[in-house]
Structure 1
């Protein structure tokens, strides 16, 4: 199992601290790296990719230090946020050059495979300078895949992509995760992270703010009431039963059902079916209304 481990990692530039005492482990599957602009996400990815040294702490790939260790690059692939290709080269020439830099036994075949993975065959013989932003993102992705790495570090990989390109890349990332690869990607679009990542790491002001499944994190936020949308066979009767029980802090009757606010997630979800049964009301739908990544992220950033 391939893992990247950061232990008490900090990075500073003069008097400016970009990353401060971060400890985390990135394992197989898709991990989303979240944080406001300037939080330190790119700095972290560059340290994981071996392009920056930590000012203190350690960054390791399977117990090997990443900084100044060329051996790890056989297992690492990086898609940086900034443009990283020569515009005068064709896409195929660029990927072939990357395959040769990795000293692959069959560089041409490896280049063709990587280009096909990102569905860039039709544009492969055009100069990169003629590509759209989304196409440049895909050819950068091909350069990271050409040596078939076990670990992928993707810094804002969906920037500039149209909806079709975004869906294609999401499908590719899901397939690679299903193969057991370790994939970390940063994004400022919460929907992308919510759809892709089974695990999130949140960075706020250079510090590690949270780690885990965002739904689990939401349920641990005990100082913030939970909201539910409830539909039933008799919303008025159910609302009366909830109010009489005192298990909710607020109940509102809306055209879409009941909007319920409860302080204790576990107790309310256990109690609601029993209240409905005792009131003779059939439950049709119970949906957490604020268990989104946006809700968690807004809470953590505002703390």
Structure 2
């Protein structure tokens, strides 16, 4: 995973940690089940909420933020329910997918209004600091109506950060951002997570999640299909063979030797090396050096072909 930790425009102070818990949460609208029996715990760090459009991500985020009541189950922040509990907003910030900005205001005025709504002791200083965090200093005096979508997104993130919340929920936060803005926002989320904040962001774009967080919550058709580090999730999928590309000093001899290894389900010899299908990730990666050494073969490259988040996601959706 590419490192994105660049120095942000403003420092991120350490935070008191908070935990968001969902216990058997469901939400339905008449006969339509949007979220079905989801249980998860979110602590400090950055987590990606992944799923195709219509998987229930936005409904789940709205219940976490206290905008929707669960039809069944409970959502709590540090043990307190988020529904009908305005006090949680001292510790929680939300950037919804739907834009809700007053285009006649400047970014500074918009973020300052958020600071005043939170009754911060020095709203002007808090607004300036939040704008610095998202690198909107140069445009903060312009009307929001003149901004690009990416600039409006950054302004909304600043408004959600103005009271320095311990928990930040973001629904498709990278929509409309250009590559530089995306890199900066990814770096900012990393810094916030490293400082002890609990960050959850939703996306249906696999590359975004893979670059920002290795920890994922995968929603499929309203259910939580998988949870944790996506590489670990892949290795637990024992019903799907792991695919490796192997290059060595003698691919043909290595192919013959590997066929006798119990963890290997198939070997294909091609122009660029071997394609190996293994039933057990750990057993194969431990056996390969031993087999190569025994036959006097040097392994030049061992590359997992389906360890990406894209592969994990496609397997979960197909299941």
Bin the TM-score by the shorter chain: over 0.9
**2:98 pairs with one of 66, 82, 86:** 82
Deviation at 1:238, TM superposition (A): 1.4
CA separation in 1, counterparts of 2:52 and 2:135?
A: 31
**Match for residue 237 of structure 1?**
253
Q: Out of 112, 115, 128, which is 1:112 matched to? A: 128
Report which stretch shifted further, 176-185 or 264-273: 264-273
Counterpart selection for 1:26 from 42, 52, 74: 42
Matches within 5 A, 1:115-264: 115-245=131-261, 247-264=263-280
Q: Normalising to structure 2: TM-score of the pair?
A: 0.93
- Structure 2: runs of 5+ lacking an equivalent: 1-16
Contact 1:202 1:210 in 2 (8 A): yes
2:309 paired residue number: 293
CA shift, 1:172, in A, is 0.4
Aligned-pair CA distance for 1:266 = 1.9
Q: What TM-score, normalized by structure 1, do the two folds share?
A: 0.97
Q: Which moved more, 1:203-212 or 1:233-242?
A: 233-242
Match of 1:73 in 2: 89
What's the offset of the Cα at 1:247? 4.0
Q: Separation in 1 of the partners of 2:134 and 2:263?
A: 51
Provide the residue aligned with 1:48 in structure 2: 64
Alignment deviations for residues 191-221 of structure 1 (CA, whole Å, 9 cap, x no partner): 1111111311111111111111111111111
1:98 corresponds in structure 2 to 114
- Alignment root-mean-square deviation, CA: 1.1
Map 1:3-18 to 2 at 5 A.
Answer: 3-18=19-34
SS at match of 1:296: helix
Q: Secondary structure at the match of 2:287?
A: helix
Task: Note the C-alpha offset of 1:121.
Answer: 0.7
| 2-structure distance, mates of 1:68, 1:272 | 57
**1:245-284 counterparts in 2 under 5 A?**
245=261, 247-284=263-300
Deviation at 1:284, TM superposition (A): 2.1
1:251-293: CA deviations, max 9, x gaps?
A: 2233432211111212211111111001101122212110111
Is residue 29–residue 198 contact of structure 1 (8 Å, CA) maintained in 2? no
Q: Return closer, same or farther for 1:246/1:208 CA change in 2, 3 Å cut-off.
A: closer
Q: Distance in 2 between matches of 1:163 and 1:238?
A: 43
Which has the larger displacement, 282-291 or 117-126? 282-291
- Corresponding residue SS for 2:53: coil
CA distance in 2, matches of 1:202, 1:291: 16
